[in-house]
Structure 1
């Protein structure tokens, strides 16, 4: 079952490192392709040849994007990871059997590279503890934002700095949909159907459009940025299925664009520092760097004390881009293996509390359908004042016997803003609160 990926590079006399790949879908097949096609370069960069010991799959006869030598394929993933391999690449996805296989690989002495955001966001602590117990590496750059190098800068390059905020577009499907709504004026359903036709969205797009995918990534980003264990359940999550063409048009009138954002903040809570992690659609000024991220691309904006503002941009998904991140990690863990050292493990020393969404400070854009008569604006303004929310701007549009008020608030706690909206909905003068959306970005603070 073993195929040697031999190096012809001069001076390569070390014994090969044996690599097992778990999964051969769009990412796994590209990992195999790169291992085979770039064997010489990888051996020169690592300092030893890499030997592809096997590729674990569910079905031997399944169609694959890349032709894999049949002698490499096996349905016995458990046997593969316990066969004495040095390095394991896990690109199966999901919680099980991926978790069990990773833990077995670590216990068997292999270092692990994974792209499994869902598992890391749900139970990363268990994986870290196993890697530490057995003295092996656990790397996962490909778990967030595909080819974009963002986790290693947070974990290593910015290790001497204090990160204050991570603000990102980390789901290409939703960014494509919202971008089409902005540029074409189309509604959500029409834009989703286009994304599915082009292969940017799955037949069941729930994980993407309801924010589950982005929430898992936000948990990983917050954990690394703030040295605190954050799991997906800690992340406030809202999707984009309720974003309307009217919301996007209103954002355009404000000089903004709507994006699904993963927002991770280091905040000053009532009892000291805390972490805030949330995923939801928001309006951001078109002057903000994230506003120009188009199509299915991803970008992550980082703010820190010493480095200031940094932005990382590129393709956030796809077989080849994600495989690039996997191979980068594989080279690193292979080098560590040869040097008999480990890379950085979990850094959760800060152990900060995760702040509930109600304490997060943001601004709101609220569209209110009201009776078109004297005194209504004053009544609406009073509802905001009762909850301590200051109004920044109000725009009124008449429509026969009713009118629409578009209110943008100054920054306030999310709980106070939510209470304001509930008060508005209960008022006899208000026919409907037709749209509520947060406003984010440097110019919106």
Structure 2
């Protein structure tokens, strides 16, 4: 796959836009497990840090790390001996053939995990949970426990009743349901019991983020939801950093990978129905893509970003939206579905705009998302990354779980 461009740091590709005075993370990585090594880099990238990754092990560990990073949308340069490192977002250097020493973690009981949903995202998280001794999966919520899936659910774990899932007394609910109302009800029920929640459900989170945050605080629980916006792209983290640096006056973003995929196909002369079918086959579009095509998905994500950056509640139903369809009349040129929030005018919307000449938006790869945040003093922070697909979104969920372990 094509690596996604790093804004404001022209020397490399990446999913975020660290600046020169951001801290640098130096990681010594054991490439016997490329997936875990890539996860360690990703967590630093989404915190806005530049990374120097020392890849240790045999059989060309630098190449294996670069490949694992690319799969989740993190571009990197492989630095030659003597080459400057700190201008890059992620620089990989070759380490020793021997794996670095690892200190054994203090023995603790595993976190009891209830996984809600085993589709595109949940199906990407479940195998890692089952393979990691830090976690014990106590239940997997699905509509039909007997349905054949591309990811096997161990016997005795599949459930179709949310109440039965919570009755198994998890420490954490990982919520990756596509249905907004079911997801929201489950998140509320879990938080009210003091159970931590990691969610990738933008419709559920965006529908009542202030209320969910208040509920979590009152119950002593934690709610993490980075995967709900941007898939593997650190869009929420970028908005948080922007808000910490100054007053946000504008948010502009491409927030829906399905629409971006389709618009790229239309620009190449393809037919709408063929493009939608290809998006489904690529794992970017749900079987029912109406939330994507009507702008509801992007509006929910914009509501989450508004809460993060402005501390304001944005009702999804008040966001003006345009629909992408075979009959839609689109502007001439390179077109994107742009979600906008302008503080001065109070205007919000999700619509289709020509973006020719816009370095951030014009050349986005198929499933990519991109964000531009403008501060009152004129400074601009940006981020790009893969906004859809199993690997990038599951990686964001996994990073939230790792953060939750640190918080606990």
Q: Shared fold by TM > 0.5?
A: yes
Deviations 1:352-373 (A, max 9, x none): xxxxxxxxxxxxxxxxxxxxxx
After superposition, the Cα gap between the structure-2 partners of 1:278 and 1:60, relative to the gap in structure 1 and judged at 3 Å, is: same
Tell me whether 1:35 sits opposite 2:129 in the alignment. yes
Q: Counterparts of 2:277 and 2:399 in 1: how far apart (Å)? A: 34
Deviations 1:262-302 (A, max 9, x none): 112221x5xxxxx4321000112324311110222221222
Pick aligned residue for 1:258 from 335, 358, 363: 335
RMSD: 2.4
After superposition, the Cα gap between the structure-2 partners of 1:57 and 1:304, relative to the gap in structure 1 and judged at 3 Å, is: same
Q: Counterparts of 2:142 and 2:276 in 1: how far apart (Å)? A: 31
Deviations 1:295-347 (A, max 9, x none): 2222122222468222211211122211111111112122212xxxxxxxxxx
CA shift for structure 1 position 94:
2.1
Q: Counterparts of 2:391 and 2:270 in 1: how far apart (Å)? A: 30
| Number of equivalent positions | 306
Q: Counterparts of 2:392 and 2:288 in 1: how far apart (Å)? A: 23
SS state of the match for residue 96, structure 1? Answer: helix
Question: What is the TM-score normalised by the length of structure 2?
Answer: 0.69
Q: Counterparts of 1:72 and 1:306 in 2: how far apart (Å)? A: 53
Pick aligned residue for 2:401 from 330, 341, 364: 330
After superposition, the Cα gap between the structure-2 partners of 1:287 and 1:156, relative to the gap in structure 1 and judged at 3 Å, is: closer
Q: Counterparts of 2:144 and 2:385 in 1: how far apart (Å)? A: 33
CA shift for structure 1 position 10:
1.1
Tell me whether 1:181 sits opposite 2:258 in the alignment. no
Q: 5 Å matches for 1:395-434?
A: none
Question: Aligned residue for 1:206?
Answer: 290
Question: Aligned residue for 1:78?
Answer: 163
Work out whether residues 26 and 65 of structure 1, in 8 Å CA contact, stay in contact via their aligned partners in 2.
no
Q: Counterparts of 1:201 and 1:209 in 2: how far apart (Å)? A: 10
Question: Aligned residue for 2:227?
Answer: 142
Question: Aligned residue for 2:351?
Answer: 280
Question: Aligned residue for 2:112?
Answer: 18
Work out whether residues 173 and 195 of structure 2, in 8 Å CA contact, stay in contact via their aligned partners in 1.
yes
Question: Aligned residue for 1:232?
Answer: 316
SS state of the match for residue 264, structure 1? Answer: strand
Pick aligned residue for 1:216 from 277, 284, 300: 300
Work out whether residues 239 and 373 of structure 2, in 8 Å CA contact, stay in contact via their aligned partners in 1.
no
CA shift for structure 1 position 232:
0.6
Q: Counterparts of 2:265 and 2:242 in 1: how far apart (Å)? A: 35
Work out whether residues 81 and 108 of structure 1, in 8 Å CA contact, stay in contact via their aligned partners in 2.
no
Question: Aligned residue for 1:369?
Answer: none
Q: Counterparts of 1:200 and 1:34 in 2: how far apart (Å)? A: 21
Work out whether residues 31 and 327 of structure 1, in 8 Å CA contact, stay in contact via their aligned partners in 2.
yes
Q: Counterparts of 2:156 and 2:277 in 1: how far apart (Å)? A: 40
CA shift for structure 1 position 215:
1.4
Q: 5 Å matches for 1:22-171?
A: 22-37=116-131, 39=132, 49-155=134-240, 158-171=243-256
Work out whether residues 114 and 170 of structure 2, in 8 Å CA contact, stay in contact via their aligned partners in 1.
yes
Q: Which has the higher helix share?
A: 1
Question: Aligned residue for 1:381?
Answer: none
Q: 5 Å matches for 1:359-438?
A: none
Give the number of the structure with larger relative contact order, counting CA–CA contacts within 8 Å between residues 6 or more apart: 2
Q: Counterparts of 1:150 and 1:81 in 2: how far apart (Å)? A: 30
Q: Counterparts of 1:243 and 1:96 in 2: how far apart (Å)? A: 29
**Structure 1: 5+ residue runs without aligned partners?**
1-7, 41-48, 252-256, 270-274, 338-445
Q: Which has the higher strand share?
A: 1
Deviations 1:231-280 (A, max 9, x none): 21121111233544xx55x33xxxxx21110112221x5xxxxx432100
